[in-house]
A = this chain, B = another copy of it.
Amino acid sequence: MKTKQFIFVRHFVGEPKLEDFELVEEELPPLKDKEILCEALYLSVDPYMRPYSRDRQPGTTMIGSQVAKVIESKHSDYPVGELLVGYFGWRLHTIKNPDVQATGMFDAIFKLPNLGGLSPSVGLGAVGMPGNTAYFGFLEICQPKPGETVVVNGAAGAVGSLVGQIAKIKGCKVIGYAGSDDKIKWLQELGFDHAFNYKKVNIRKSLKEAAPNGVDCYFDNVGGLFSSEVLNHMNTFGRVSVCGAISVYNDDPKNPTLVPAVQPAMVFKELKMEGFLVSRWVNRWQEGLKQMSQWIQEGKIKYEETETFGFENTPKAFIGMLRGENTGKAVVKV
């Protein structure tokens, strides 16, 4: 059968552009024994795709996960109709042999857990990789205690919005930063104690106002100058979980954004900062998904999705997500 996929034709320079992508046709062979044919229902667009593309060859498929349905099967454990999350890249149809041992998270296939009536797209968000990123990346690295003050940026994004709500469940005071007044309104509805539009406020002043006793935990999606400000406002023995650095992903590596050095704050406040990739918790994957799913069923966690319609609009959705145009998880409905 014929299908389609997006390749990237050159390494991105600065912000990715529509012409950096090309939609190409592909001929898929017939299935062999144990193979399954998957059809994309939802594609995920995530910040990590920008830096990760740097190590990949132009002309290859853009990386990424999708929720796919098995539409033809020669494997009895994966019948037609089964819903999967797979890192197939930006492709409409994919042939896989699920028995071939995955070499890492980006090669693995997960069966979608019971979502109790939620849209399967949540498997790319709150009950998927971003959900586990928030769950493990915040709880394991920040080790928040009740009563502590937590700062999260990218707070209206797929991960940040979940981190803030998990912090509330854990009894923390939560300060979120996002990039539009609509997002701020949404964060307030989610129960954030303070929410600021970082494009409109002075970060230092807003921190002094919202965290007069300092910041204990900082979940960082943004990096760069924003982080230098937060570090200077942290309490002794504060913990910093570095999940991403979206503010500098579009930088030219040879000409990076320059910011004040973090080391003085690290020393004098005795801070602990740890970067992570969620793949380190791949062995606890189901634990995270189960907890996130339960909190959603109990109404303790709310999530939002920004849907872009049509596979051909995936590059547009990706570029918009990097610009912060999404609220909650950015997905493409095929």
Contacts and interface: CB of A to CB of B under 8 A. Distances in A.
A261 B273 contact: no
B263 A223 contact: yes
Contacts of A266: 242, 245, 273-275
Contacts of A263: 220, 223-224, 227, 242, 244-245, 248, 275
Interface of A: 51, 220, 223-225, 227, 242-245, 247-249, 256-277, 280
A276 B265 CA distance: 10
A140 to B, nearest CB: 12
Contact of A264 (B223, B271, B273): B223
Contacts of A270: 274-277, 280
Contact of A260 (B227, B258, B264): B258
A264 B248 contact: yes
Copies of this chain in its oligomeric complex: 2
Contact of A268 (B220, B265, B271, B275): B275
A249 B264 CA distance: 8
B51 A264 contact: yes
Contacts of A265: 275
Contacts of A243: 267
A225, A245, A266, A269: most-surrounded residue (chain B CB, <10 A): A266
Contact of A245 (B264, B272, B276): B264
A51 to B, nearest CB: 7
Contacts of A260: 256-259
A274 B275 CA distance: 12
A265 B244 CA distance: 10
A270 to B, nearest CB: 5
25 contacts: A51-B264, A51-B268, A220-B263, A224-B261, A224-B263, A225-B261, A227-B263, A243-B267, A244-B267, A245-B263, A245-B266, A248-B263, A248-B264, A249-B264, A256-B260, A257-B261, A259-B259, A259-B260, A259-B261, A263-B275, A266-B274, A266-B275, A269-B275, A272-B272, A273-B273
Contacts of A51: 264, 268
A275 B271 contact: yes
Contacts of A267: 242-245, 275-277
A248 B261 contact: yes
Contacts of A258: 258-260
A274 B272 contact: yes
A273 to B, nearest CB: 5
- A220, A259, A261 interface centre (most CB from chain B within 10 Å): A261
